[in-house]
């Protein structure tokens, strides 16, 4: 009798949900749980309902109550893990699945959920193996097909295009799959076909910023420099009230130093979205970067918005106007609210140097903070690495919003790839990072890097840059890193000759938009097979060179999850 009643209540809730009556469905589930508070099936259904509505805390509570009453139920355990992952607690969810491998190894969904958690935790090799186990049990499993295709793309596997085509055979209506397919085609050298697919997607989903960013980068790589943001402009015409879309458009323009255009678009948004002061801040940021300091000054003067982001951006403006004391006060406030804010520390270094404050020595000039070390990779192995990087760069492009000028960057995470040359580089770099750490000064709880000296680190983000003659990196920072790097593979022919500093790494020179005549605190002349390691709070860029190529591998080091 109870089972029939529960089934009826569950069907009623689902009918209400299908009709769009979310409140009604929630009320039915609440009433049902008061009558049957320990029924695992009902708790599971209610958990799925709340998860679907984004109420993850309640969904987790319901799944855990259900597991108390049915501890061996595989579906309940997997649903709990899915919710934990959505709550950014994948590291908590995965161990519970690993313990159940023997009991659940025959269940395809077990491997799909496990793969998703492993990918979230950046263990892509394990994720690929789990997706393969899932597909061995269920060859047409939709999520596993998609997830495995995405991993093939990210790891540079040669069958990435074929995997997306196989996945699309069963999911023609999945827009994310089509975007992945277009990205895979681009990596395979079929950029025109990728652009065709991307533009078709944009007509159907004009507010999809990830797609529009991909199209902008693709157009730029294909040489359409004047109209590379055409898809952003058309989408903004169709969706004039989409703030996220317009912000992404501004960022794409600013990424290639077209700050004045971004400022005008943001200024139009100020007038149309009068209640959102973040637009006034955006206009001030882009106006200042374009050189219109008077416009930026007026905007900051009238801006009621407070918080660390406003403080950091206004500090940039104050530095441009040589108001270092005002900048230091703003940055002190920003760091007080967020002590790990890389951009604030980087600007503070510049303010301290302008003021002659000795704390700049403490921040970046202590012995051991900047190191230039031999990776220990043998010359013949280095030559094989260079050959592979050339092949990857032949399908690379200059990404928007990155520091490289006149050059290409490899696509995806370089250290996610499977080639033995990449695995060799990764192994040497892991060892080198530990040697770097051991040579650092002692732990200092006030220092943005040394406070984490003895914590667990990990590599997060990796890529290669190939710069052409005249190419260089504009001075920049990596705002999400703890440690930044430059591992040298190819040097321009002038390096070591009469123009020995062509292509050299400059540490501490302010970025061009600050328009400050402040020299670098260090200049590192590159040596093939060597790697520079330095705090991510230190602005860094390279000097142009007149002939040849300069190729590097770079990566960020962050705190482990």
What CA–CA distances, in Å, run from 18 to 25, 32, 79, 213, 316? 9, 18, 21, 34, 51
Work out the burial of residue 518: count CB atoms within 10 Å of its CB; fewer than 13 is exposed, 13-18 middle, 19 or more buried: middle
Helix (H, G, I), strand (E, B), or coil: what is residue 408?
A: strand
Banded model confidence at residue 402, pLDDT cuts 50, 70, 90: low
CA–CA dist 239, 526 (Å, integer): 48
What CA–CA distances, in Å, run from 1 to 4, 5, 6, 335, 337? 5, 6, 9, 62, 58
DSSP, res 510 = P
Are 398 and 467 spatial neighbours (Cβ–Cβ below 8 Å)? no
What percentage of residues in the chain have a pLDDT greater than 90?
A: 80
500, pLDDT greater than 90: no
Half-sphere exposure of 248 (CA within 13 A, CB side): 23
Banded model confidence at residue 548, pLDDT cuts 50, 70, 90: confident
- What pLDDT is stored for residue 347 in this prediction? 98
Banded model confidence at residue 410, pLDDT cuts 50, 70, 90: confident
What CA–CA distances, in Å, run from 338 to 333, 445, 503, 552? 9, 14, 35, 32
pLDDT digits (tens, 9 = 90+) for 305-362: 899 999 999 999 999 999 999 999 999 999 999 999 999 999 999 999 999 999 999 9
- What pLDDT is stored for residue 468 in this prediction? 81
CA–CA dist 313, 307 (Å, integer): 10
pLDDT digits (tens, 9 = 90+) for 177-193: 999 999 999 988 899 99
pLDDT digits (tens, 9 = 90+) for 239-275: 999 999 999 999 999 988 899 999 999 999 999 998 8
- What pLDDT is stored for residue 170 in this prediction? 84
- What pLDDT is stored for residue 396 in this prediction? 67
Distance of CA 313 to the CA centre of its chain: 21
Distance of CA 188 to the CA centre of its chain: 22
- Mean pLDDT in residue range 211-215: 95
Higher pLDDT, 485 or 471: 485
- What pLDDT is stored for residue 498 in this prediction? 47
Distance of CA 239 to the CA centre of its chain: 26
161, pLDDT greater than 90: yes
Highest mean pLDDT among 112-116, 220-224, 268-272, 521-525: 112-116
405, pLDDT greater than 80: no
- What pLDDT is stored for residue 397 in this prediction? 63
- Mean pLDDT in residue range 385-397: 86
- Mean pLDDT in residue range 378-383: 94
223, pLDDT greater than 60: yes
Half-sphere exposure of 387 (CA within 13 A, CB side): 9
Domains parsed from the chain with CATH numbers: 1-169 (1.25.40.10), 203-361 (1.25.40.10), 371-559 (2.60.120.620)
CA–CA dist 550, 516 (Å, integer): 27
- What pLDDT is stored for residue 76 in this prediction? 94
Provide the mean pLDDT of the chain: 92
Strand order in the sheet with 371-374: 371-374, 530-535, 483-490, 550-559, 457-473, 404-409
Distance of CA 50 to the CA centre of its chain: 29
Q: Which contiguous run of DSSP H or E holds residue 514? A: none
**Residues ≥6 apart with Cβ < 8 Å to 173:** none
- Mean pLDDT in residue range 122-140: 95
Nearest to 176 by CA among 133, 142, 131, 222: 142
Q: Which of 285-289, 313-317, 396-400 has the lowest mean pLDDT?
A: 396-400
Banded model confidence at residue 543, pLDDT cuts 50, 70, 90: confident
């Amino acid at each position: 009798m109870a089972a029939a009643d529960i089934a009826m209540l569950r069907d009623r809730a689902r009918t209400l949900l299908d009709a769009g009556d979310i409140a009604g469905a929630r009320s039915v589930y609440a009433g049902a749980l008061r009558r049957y508070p320990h029924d695992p099936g009902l708790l599971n259904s209610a958990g799925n309902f709340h998860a679907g509505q984004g109420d993850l805390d309640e969904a987790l509570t319901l799944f855990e109550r259900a597991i108390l009453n049915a501890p061996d139920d595989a579906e309940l355990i997997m649903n709990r893990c899915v919710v934990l992952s959505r709550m950014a607690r994948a590291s908590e969810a995965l161990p519970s699945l690993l313990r159940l491998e023997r009991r659940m190894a025959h269940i395809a969904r077990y491997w799909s959920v496990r793969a998703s958690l492993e990918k979230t935790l950046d263990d892509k090799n394990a994720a690929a193996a789990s997706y393969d186990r899932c597909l061995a049990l269920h060859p047409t499993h939709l999520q596993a097909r998609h997830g495995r295709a995405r991993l093939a793309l990210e790891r540079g596997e040669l069958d990435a295009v074929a995997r997306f085509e196989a996945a699309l055979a069963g999911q023609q209506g999945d827009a994310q799959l089509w975007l992945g397919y277009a990205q895979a085609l681009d990596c395979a050298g079929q950029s025109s076909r990728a652009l065709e697919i991307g533009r078709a997607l944009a007509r159907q989903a004009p507010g999809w910023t990830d797609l529009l960013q991909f199209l902008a980068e693709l157009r730029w790589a294909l040489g359409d420099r004047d109209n590379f943001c055409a898809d952003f402009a058309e989408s903004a015409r169709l969706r004039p009230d989409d703030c996220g879309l317009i912000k992404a458009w501004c960022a794409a323009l600013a990424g290639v130093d077209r700050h004045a255009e971004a400022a005008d678009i943001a200024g139009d948004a100020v007038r149309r979205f009068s209640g959102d002061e973040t637009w006034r801040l955006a206009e001030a940021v882009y106006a200042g970067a374009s050189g219109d300091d008077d416009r930026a000054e007026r905007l900051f003067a009238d801006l009621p918005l407070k918080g660390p982001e406003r403080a950091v951006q206004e500090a940039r403006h104050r530095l441009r106007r040589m108001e270092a004391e005002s900048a230091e006060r703003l940055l002190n406030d920003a760091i007080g609210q967020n002590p790990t804010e890389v951009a604030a520390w980087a600007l503070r270094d510049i303010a301290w140097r302008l003021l002659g404050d000795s704390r700049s020595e403490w921040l970046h000039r202590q012995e051991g903070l900047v190191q230039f070390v031999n990776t220990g990779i043998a010359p013949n192995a280095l030559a094989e690495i260079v050959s592979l990087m050339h092949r990857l760069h032949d399908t690379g492009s200059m990404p928007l919003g990155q520091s490289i000028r006149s050059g290409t960057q490899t696509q995806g995470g370089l250290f996610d790839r499977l080639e033995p040359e990449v695995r060799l580089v990764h192994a040497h770099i892991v060892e080198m990072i530990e040697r770097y750490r051991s040579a650092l000064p002692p732990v200092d709880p006030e220092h943005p890097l040394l406070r984490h000296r003895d914590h667990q680190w990990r590599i997060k983000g990796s890529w290669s840059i190939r710069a052409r003659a005249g190419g260089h990196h504009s001075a920049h920072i990596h705002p999400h890193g703890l440690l930044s790097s430059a591992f040298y593979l190819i040097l321009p022919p002038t390096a070591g000759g009469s123009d020995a500093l062509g292509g050299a790494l400059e540490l501490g020179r302010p970025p061009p938009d600050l328009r400050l005549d402040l020299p670098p605190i260090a200049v590192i002349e590159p040596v093939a097979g060597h790697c520079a390691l330095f705090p991510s709070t230190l602005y860094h860029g390279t000097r142009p060179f007149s002939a040849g190529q300069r190729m590097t591998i770079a990566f960020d080091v962050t705190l482990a999850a």
